[in-house]
């Protein structure tokens, strides 16, 4: 065991503050990674503030962070695919049983024994796992992803959650040329969804509550932008969509989006508002529409997404911040004031 530096929150009302945390020495299959960049996902904020208490209560202290890129500093004796000095990435998961039907299908995110990067029981040290707001992390090589060498590292970090969470459901639902696709919420997930849907050749419509994001939405790849608070603008699209990806982090009216679907259209929820969202039966019955959900993506698909990003030169639009600005960044996230992902330069923790 060794001590790592990290930013932790001590309770649901405490700010993030510097602390020392234990990390295991790499076992034979582990890599130790020096964290270079870590994205700030809205899930970090939900967890730090215990907003998902009824579904996944937070254990304190918490070290959030699951959009990690870094450099390998130590390798276990049985590690074959990586060596010291290699770039490595870690997303939302760090372990799974490898034997269940989900793991066998490459859908480790649905494994009943999946271990999240933070706030999951830690079978090595006891307590819970600690995430990427830290100077280093130790992870089994099975859960390490490769970053294409042509991508900017600060902008690549958010691909590990925001990227795969939007890529996977759009692949699953056949987003492609000739499809009309909606993206609700232009935040960290939403702006990645726009980039992917555009790259897949779909006609992309962004729904935003922030009129000042219109220009950006078009630049990111949207064909049309609708300010969702304008009911007349919404009505124009009634019954016309094949697929809508809903990335909103707070309470909102999903019926309004179900009613924009055509026959057999689908709304997939990836946003995870803490409180239940009411749905009218008629919004679904009419036109045989469906509402579903999706969580990140499996390891193989995450690597596929990273390789796709390498080929198409796709990264997240990031505002790079030092870790000392993390609390301020959370407040700005709540005001939808980020273009479009904060990426923490973890060098700022090493010099603290």
Residue 69 binds Zn ion, judged by CB under 5 A: no
What CA–CA distance (Å, rounded) separates 195 from 222?
Answer: 8
Helix (H) or strand (E) holding 310: helix 299-312
Residue from 155, 182, 188, 298 binding ligand NAP (CB under 6 A):
188
Structure tokens at 199: 């790259």
Of 110-118, 125-133, 247-255, 320-328: span binding ligand NAP (CB under 6 A): 247-255
Query: Which of 103, 159, 161, 333 is in the footprint of Zn ion by CB under 5 A?
Result: 161
**In this structure, what are the phi and psi dihedrals at residue 211, rounded to the nearest 5 degrees?**
-55, -30
- Per CB under 6 A, does 209 bind ligand NAP? yes
195 part of the interface to ligand NAP, by CB under 6 A: no
CA 32/CA 131 separation, integer angstroms: 13
The distance of closest approach from Cβ of residue 56 to ligand NAP in the complex, given in angstroms and rounded to an integer, is: 11
Strands (E), the chain: 2-8, 17-23, 30-40, 68-75, 87-90, 93-95, 115-116, 136-140, 180-184, 203-208, 224-227, 241-246, 261-269, 290-293, 318-322, 341-345
**Binding-site member from 63, 79, 107, 161 for ligand NAP (CB under 6 A):** 161
Out of 16, 21, 36, 41, the residue judged to bind Zn ion by CB under 5 A: 41
Give, in degrees to the nearest 5, the angle at Cα 352 between 18 and 343. Answer: 75
For residues 323-352, which are near ligand NAP according to CB under 6 A?
333, 336
Q: Given the complex with ligand NAP, which of 59 and 295 has the nearer CB atom?
A: 295
- Per-residue binding string, Zn ion, 301-330, x by CB under 5 A, is ------------------------------
Smallest gap from Cβ 271 to Zn ion, in A, equals 11
- Residue 319 or 345 having the CB closest to ligand NAP: 319
CA distance 291 to 302: 24
Of 135-143, 187-195, 303-311, 324-332, the segment contacting ligand NAP by CB under 6 A is: 187-195
Give the CA radius of gyration of the chain: 20
The two beta strands, 341-345 and 318-322, are: parallel
Binding of residue 41 to ligand NAP (CB under 6 A): yes
């Amino acid at each position: 065991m060794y001590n790592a530096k990290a930013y932790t929150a001590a309770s649901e009302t405490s700010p993030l503050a510097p602390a020392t945390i234990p990390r295991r020495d790499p076992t034979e299959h582990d890599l130790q990674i020096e964290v270079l960049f870590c994205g700030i996902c809205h899930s970090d904020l939900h967890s730090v503030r215990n907003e998902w208490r009824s579904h996944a209560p937070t254990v304190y202290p918490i070290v959030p962070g699951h959009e990690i890129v870094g450099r390998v500093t130590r390798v276990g004796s049985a590690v074959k695919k990586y060596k010291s000095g290699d770039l490595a990435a870690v997303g939302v998961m760090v372990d799974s049983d490898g034997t269940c039907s989900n793991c066998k299908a490459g859908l480790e995110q649905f494994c009943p024994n999946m271990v999240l990067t933070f706030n999951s029981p830690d079978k090595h040290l006891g307590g819970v796992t600690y995430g990427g707001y830290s100077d280093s992390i130790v992870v089994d090589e099975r859960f390490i992803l490769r970053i294409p060498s042509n991508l900017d590292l600060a902008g690549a970090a958010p691909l590990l959650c925001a990227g795969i969470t939007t890529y996977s459901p759009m692949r699953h639902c056949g987003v492609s040329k000739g499809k009309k696709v909606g993206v609700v919420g232009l935040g960290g997930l939403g702006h990645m969804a726009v980039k992917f849907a555009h790259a897949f050749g779909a006609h992309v419509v962004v729904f935003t509550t922030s009129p000042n994001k219109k220009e950006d939405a078009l630049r990111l790849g949207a064909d049309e932008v609708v300010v969702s608070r304008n009911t007349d603008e919404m009505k124009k699209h009634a019954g016309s969509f094949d697929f809508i990806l809903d990335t909103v982090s707070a309470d909102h009216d999903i019926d309004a989006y179900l009613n924009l679907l055509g026959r057999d259209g689908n709304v997939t929820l990836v946003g995870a508002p803490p409180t239940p969202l009411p749905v009218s039966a008629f919004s679904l019955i009419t036109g045989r529409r469906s509402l579903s959900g999706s969580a990140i993506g499996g390891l193989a698909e995450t690597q596929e997404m990273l390789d796709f990003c390498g080929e198409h030169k796709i990264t997240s639009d990031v505002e790079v911040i030092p870790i000392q600005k993390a609390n301020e960044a959370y407040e700005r996230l709540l005001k939808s004031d980020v273009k479009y992902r904060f990426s923490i330069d973890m060098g700022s923790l090493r010099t603290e």
